[in-house]
Amino acid sequence: MKSDASLPVEGTGRQFALAQLRRGQVATVSGLVESAAIDSGRDASQSLVTRLRDLGFVPGARCEVVARMWLGGDPIAVRIGGSTFALRRAEAAAVRVEISASHARDAVAHAGSSAVPA
């Protein structure tokens, strides 16, 4: 999907895939992309993106990873808009997040080498 036109143009924070957040880290959704981790065609990842948006993963929404399973963190539990959702790593890969300025120190402390610039 093309980059979302309604993206907040802060441009300050670095962008991550949601699955890369550590437990307890708070971030802001910056956009949804079709996840490359879902290999079963465009339709599947398109409908995934649509559903994520319906669940409230929209640009500007604040989210927090509240639990991660096992070492690889699959699945994860994400708190957003007052609800909690269980997402697999592949699903969370569709959500791009930005660490907001107030949480930037957290990000540096936790993200380490796994941070991928957008």
Partner 1 sequence: MDATVTPLRIALVGVPNCGKTALFNRLTGSRQKVANYPGVTVERREGERATPDGRGMRVLDLPGTYSLNPTTLDEAITRDVLLGRLADTPSPELVVCVVDAVHLPIGLRLALEVKRLGLPMVLALNRMDVARRRRVHIDVAKLSAELGVPVVPTIAVKRGGADALVEIVEGGRWVAPRAFAAALQEHGAEDAEQMQRDLRGLLGASGYSPPRENPWFGRIDALLLHPVAGLAILLAVLFVMFQAVFSWAEAPMNWIEVAMNSLGAFTAAHLPAGPLASLLVNGVIGGAGSVLVFLPQIVILFFFILALEDSGYLPRAAYLLDRLMGSVGLSGRAFIPLLSSHACAIPGIMATRTIPNWRDRLTTIMIAPLMTCSARLPVYGLLIAALIPARAIGPFNLQGLVLFTLYAAGIVSALLVAFVMKQFARDRQYSPLMLELPDFQWPNASNLLLGLWERVKIFLSRVGGIILALMVVLWFLSSYPEPPPGASGPPIQYSLAGRLGAMLEYVFAPIGFNWQIAIALVPGLAAREVAVAALGTVYAMSAAGDDLSAALEPVIASSWSLATGASLLAWYVFAPQCLSTLAVVKRETNSWKYPLIMAGYLFALAYLASFITFRVVRAWA
Q: From CA 94, how far away is CA 104, in angstroms rounded? A: 22
Beta-strand ranges (E) seen in the chain are 15-17, 26-32, 62-68, 76-80, 83-87, 95-98
**How many binding residues for partner 1 (CB under 8 A)?**
36
Binding-residue pattern over the window 9 to 48 for partner 1, x denoting contact by CB under 8 A: -----------------------------xxxx--xx-xx
The answer, yes or no, to whether the previous bond of 75 is cis (omega within 30 of 0) is yes
Which residues inside 53-112 make contact with partner 1, applying CB under 8 A?
53-56, 58, 66-70, 74-75, 77, 81-88, 90-91
Q: From CA 99, how far away is CA 55, in angstroms rounded? A: 20
What is the binding site for partner 1 (CB under 8 A)? 1, 6, 38-41, 44-45, 47-48, 50-56, 58, 66-70, 74-75, 77, 81-88, 90-91
